[in-house]
Amino acid sequence: MTLRRHLGGYAAIGLLQWLVEYGLMLALSEWVMPVEPANVIGRLAGATLGFWLNGKWTFAADDTHLGRHAAMRFFVMWIALTVLNTWIVAHLDDVFGLRTAQLLKPGADLLSGGIGFLLSRHWVYRKA
């Protein structure tokens, strides 16, 4: 698998995943709950979709596997990146307010998405 194919697939799925995540975070933080739990719920919904699609399409190869080990690795990665992402969004909310946090969340998503790509490509989906 080439880096170009991996990046293209990850970007396409990432966009879909991000639309689910960001839309849910915006809706929940606007009408139902504080930004922190709204962000975690949005990330969980997007992550579930992204894990399956990236495992079945983006990183699918002879040396990869979508199973229990990949799910455990993905969960560890997701927890770490969600903590980082949510801390960034919460910090923005504390310092600049909800509107700015909502507006700047895509930057936090790009950072965590880039780290997630590297970890997914080289660790998460590799056969145990």
Q: What's the total number of domains in the chain? A: 1
| Alpha carbons 97 and 51: distance in angstroms, whole number | 31
* Domain membership of residue 84 as a residue range: 3-124
pTM of the model: 0.82
Please tell me the predicted confidence (pLDDT) of residue 61: 85
How many CA atoms does the CB half-sphere of 108 hold within 13 Å?
A: 23
CA 7 to chain centroid: 15
Q: Can you give the pLDDT of all 128 residues of the chain as single tens digits?
A: 688 989 999 999 999 999 999 999 999 999 999 999 998 999 899 999 999 999 999 998 888 888 899 999 999 999 999 899 999 999 999 999 999 999 999 999 899 999 999 999 999 998 86
CA distances 126 to 16, 39, 113, 122, 123, Å, are 23, 28, 18, 7, 6
CB proximity list for 40: less than 8 A, separation 6 or greater: 82, 86
